[in-house]
A and B are shown apart, each in its own frame.
Chain A
Amino acid sequence: MGKLYDKLAEDVRFIEGLKACLNCGTCTAICPAAEFYNYQPRQIVDILQTRDDDQIEALLKSETIWYCGECMSCVTRCPRGNAPGLLITVLRSVSQELGYFVESEKGRQQLAIKRTVGEWILKYGYCLYPSEILPDMHPEQGPVWEWEHENMDAVMHRLGANYKKTGPGILRKIPQEDLDEVQRIFDETGGTERFRQIEDFSRIKAGEMGISLEDGLASDYFRHIYTTNNNDHSKDA
């Protein structure tokens, strides 16, 4: 048994997600990602079952593990009770811990998610926050969102939110002592360490690629990982 396989198997989600795959391909048939990307959850499980470290390392460095949307449709359909989508969560965790995620275009995007959703959790106590969802980063949100953005306080007030205010309610300001608890939970449970790993490995990779990476969302490396698509990911590519 390989060391990487052992590391994956330390995660309870791996134990829950991988029982015995018979390679029937039902997961691939139901998978939305398999329809869009060059991706087969069946192959992921097949590689894991080899327990071969070389193959697993290649997988951890690949684009492939980042194609899944974690909708978990595969979980419903597997006739053997496997959960390929859950195995993906473990592969992605280990890929980030070992710094392998920066070896793929899709993996490098983790920094963009950390600097948006990840940091908003600590800053606001919400995964999403309206003043941060910028129309120029979200053209698909359309003119209604642009209008909301320009009138956010008034719109939120009209719709019954308690936006930025104290007390319970929609988009209330979460008290600092509660945000402090969230920070301590992250410190205690590996969340802060995960963020540090994403930042550190990304900084090294940005240096290798010769692209500048500063704090925030404005630097060249952030823009690069947020928008770059080499168009070599689809099943038709």
Chain B
Amino acid sequence: MKIEGKRSIWKEYQKEIADNRFFYVRSCVRQNFFPGSEKTFLRIMKDELNKDVYENAAHTTCSGIGYHSDVVPFETAMTMVARQFALMTEAGYENFTTSCITSFGLYSEILETWHHFPEVEDRVREHLLKATGRTFTKPANLSHASDVIFKFRNEIAASGKYRLVNKATGNPLQVVEHIGCHYSKMFPSKGVGGAEYPYVLVGMIEDWGGEVIDYPERRHCCGFGFRQYLVQANRGYSLACSKKKFDSMAPYKPDFILTNCPGCPMFLDRWQYALSEMEGITYGENGLGIPVLTYEELAGMILGYDPWDLGLQVHQVPVEPLLDKIGIPYSSQRKFLTMDGKMMGQPKAPSHLKFYQHE
């Protein structure tokens, strides 16, 4: 095929991502489990890229986890989302970017629903006005925060201190990328690369010096499944999905897993621990796991931010082996210190999975 033909086809998989002036909404899962990632996103956007990113303290959950576990009706979720749009409108912004993939999928679903059923949008506008007195304009541009980091990946690489290269061998690191299902499986045109060739994380990995592993279960769900994790009796579903992925990727000896959804890194991290306790399985070498990173953490590592400022100490699968491979310095003594430098105690070591404690 001629290169012009390839470019023409590839155009279908592109998405427009705003350049500046973002209205930022947070993720429930991210804030609970990887808060350092959202901190890092804003630090990169403001300090490195000089972008205008605004957060309104009045924004709330979009209710997406409640919606997809079916306790929150669609009508309610739509009106919760409409309120977020109203806060954006009132603040004078039109580029909406969200930290959460469940939210991103829900925003996409709702905008698509309103496009096909304008009467539903009218009804939601009435609900919102009646409940809150607010009105809104729909976003001119909707992005997930990983889209934004993808857009500026070359700028991050240019001012970066490190690349995804094994310091000892000089070889590119081998990386598994995992895309959250609701990023583009429902609405392929809303994601970079669509559902067939998601490129949002691949672009970061390749342009930051690593190589992507293509393995059989690459597109399988991490297993969140909403109610399948939220209720203890159902968690076998969630664990089984993650295990299927680990078993499939392990022969390729990944140096780490990169994710763009808030939930996926938590499950891929915690289920490695659970499998080690249940069956003695560890997926890395010598009792180590496969480190799981958020794209914000990885961008921060490339830029040379302190690993403990990124929040890598709250990973159950230790990230130190990856830091060692790249040659990123860290202080073991400072891993579990408070902001004021006081020792907080430290987590217990798991039975099988190796863990790096305070020395």
The residues of A with any CB-CB pair to B shorter than 8 Å are 11-13, 16, 32-33, 35-37, 66, 68-73, 75-76, 83, 89, 92-93, 96, 106, 109-110, 112-114, 116-118, 121, 125-130, 133, 137, 139-148, 150-151, 154-161, 166-172, 174-175, 178-179, 181-182, 184-191, 194-195, 198, 225-229
23 A-B pairs whose Cβ atoms sit less than 8 Å apart in the complex: A12-B117, A70-B225, A71-B221, A76-B188, A110-B71, A112-B230, A113-B227, A117-B65, A126-B31, A127-B29, A129-B32, A139-B274, A141-B270, A145-B270, A154-B339, A156-B35, A167-B57, A168-B57, A171-B32, A181-B132, A185-B127, A188-B131, A189-B73
Please, what's the 1-or-0 string for B271-307, where 1 marks a CB less than 8 Å from any CB in chain A?
Answer: 1011000000000000000000000000000000000
Expressed in whole angstroms, the minimum distance between the Cβ of B140 and any Cβ of chain A is 23
Expressed in whole angstroms, the minimum distance between the Cβ of B340 and any Cβ of chain A is 9
Contact of B236 among A36, A126, A172 (CB under 8 A): A36
Contact of A175 among B39, B57, B271 (CB under 8 A): B57
Q: Is the CB of B233 within 8 A of A227?
A: yes
In the assembled complex, the Cα of A126 lies from the Cα of B344 at a distance in Å of 27
In the assembled complex, the Cα of A71 lies from the Cα of B223 at a distance in Å of 8
Residue of A nearest to B80 (CB): A185
Given contacts A128-B28, A194-B71, contact A154 B79 (CB under 8 A): no
Contact of B35 among A159, A181, A184, A225 (CB under 8 A): A159
In the assembled complex, the Cα of A157 lies from the Cα of B355 at a distance in Å of 23
In the A-B complex, list the 6 residue pairs whose CB atoms are closest, starting with the nearest. A69-B225, A160-B39, A191-B76, A147-B347, A125-B60, A127-B65
Residue of A nearest to B100 (CB): A127
Expressed in whole angstroms, the minimum distance between the Cβ of A132 and any Cβ of chain B is 10
Chain B contacts for A121, CB-based, 8 A? 60-61, 63, 66, 72
Expressed in whole angstroms, the minimum distance between the Cβ of B302 and any Cβ of chain A is 19
In the assembled complex, the Cα of A167 lies from the Cα of B65 at a distance in Å of 24
Given contacts A155-B314, A155-B344, contact A166 B232 (CB under 8 A): no
Q: How many A-B residue pairs have CB under 8 A?
A: 264
Residue of B nearest to A65 (CB): B70
Chain A contacts for B226, CB-based, 8 A? 69-70
Chain A contacts for B74, CB-based, 8 A? 11, 13, 89, 93
Chain B contacts for A191, CB-based, 8 A? 72-73, 75-76
Given contacts A69-B221, A70-B68, A170-B35, contact A189 B270 (CB under 8 A): no
> Is residue B113 within 8 Å, beta carbon to beta carbon, of the partner chain?
yes
Binds A, one of B142-150, B153-161, B179-187, B200-208: B179-187
> With A32-B225, A36-B236, A225-B231 given, can you name 9 additional A-B contacts, CB distance below 8 Å?
A16-B113, A112-B231, A117-B66, A118-B71, A121-B60, A127-B65, A129-B32, A142-B350, A191-B75
In the assembled complex, the Cα of A3 lies from the Cα of B29 at a distance in Å of 39
Q: Is the CB of A75 within 8 A of B76?
A: no
In the assembled complex, the Cα of A141 lies from the Cα of B336 at a distance in Å of 18
Given contacts A126-B31, A154-B344, contact A140 B274 (CB under 8 A): yes
Chain A contacts for B240, CB-based, 8 A? 35-36
Chain A contacts for B55, CB-based, 8 A? 168-169
Q: Is the CB of A66 within 8 A of B348?
A: no
> Is residue B130 within 8 Å, beta carbon to beta carbon, of the partner chain?
yes
Q: Is the CB of B231 within 8 A of A181?
A: no
In the assembled complex, the Cα of A145 lies from the Cα of B347 at a distance in Å of 8
Q: Is the CB of B113 within 8 A of A93?
A: no
Residue of A nearest to B226 (CB): A70
In the assembled complex, the Cα of A147 lies from the Cα of B309 at a distance in Å of 18
Contact of A73 among B68, B188, B221 (CB under 8 A): B221
Chain B contacts for A190, CB-based, 8 A? 73, 75-76
> Is residue B235 within 8 Å, beta carbon to beta carbon, of the partner chain?
yes
Contact of A144 among B38, B70, B347 (CB under 8 A): B347
Contact of A32 among B70, B223, B233, B348 (CB under 8 A): B223
> Is residue B11 within 8 Å, beta carbon to beta carbon, of the partner chain?
no
In the assembled complex, the Cα of A128 lies from the Cα of B219 at a distance in Å of 26
Q: Is the CB of A12 within 8 A of B35?
A: no
Given contacts A16-B116, A73-B221, A189-B79, contact A146 B70 (CB under 8 A): no
Expressed in whole angstroms, the minimum distance between the Cβ of A161 and any Cβ of chain B is 5
In the assembled complex, the Cα of A187 lies from the Cα of B131 at a distance in Å of 8
In the assembled complex, the Cα of A69 lies from the Cα of B240 at a distance in Å of 13
Q: Is the CB of B72 within 8 A of A194?
A: yes
Expressed in whole angstroms, the minimum distance between the Cβ of B69 and any Cβ of chain A is 5
Residue of A nearest to B105 (CB): A72
> Is residue B172 within 8 Å, beta carbon to beta carbon, of the partner chain?
no
> Is residue B311 within 8 Å, beta carbon to beta carbon, of the partner chain?
yes
Q: Is the CB of B31 within 8 A of A109?
A: no
Given contacts A151-B345, A185-B127, contact A140 B235 (CB under 8 A): yes
Chain A contacts for B72, CB-based, 8 A? 118, 121, 191, 194
Chain A contacts for B268, CB-based, 8 A? none
Expressed in whole angstroms, the minimum distance between the Cβ of A141 and any Cβ of chain B is 6
In the assembled complex, the Cα of A3 lies from the Cα of B270 at a distance in Å of 45
Expressed in whole angstroms, the minimum distance between the Cβ of B24 and any Cβ of chain A is 9
> Is residue B135 within 8 Å, beta carbon to beta carbon, of the partner chain?
no
Chain A contacts for B232, CB-based, 8 A? 137, 226-227
Chain B contacts for A143, CB-based, 8 A? 316, 347-350, 355
Expressed in whole angstroms, the minimum distance between the Cβ of A177 and any Cβ of chain B is 8
Q: Is the CB of B70 within 8 A of A12?
A: no
Given contacts A142-B274, A194-B73, A229-B233, contact A127 B339 (CB under 8 A): no
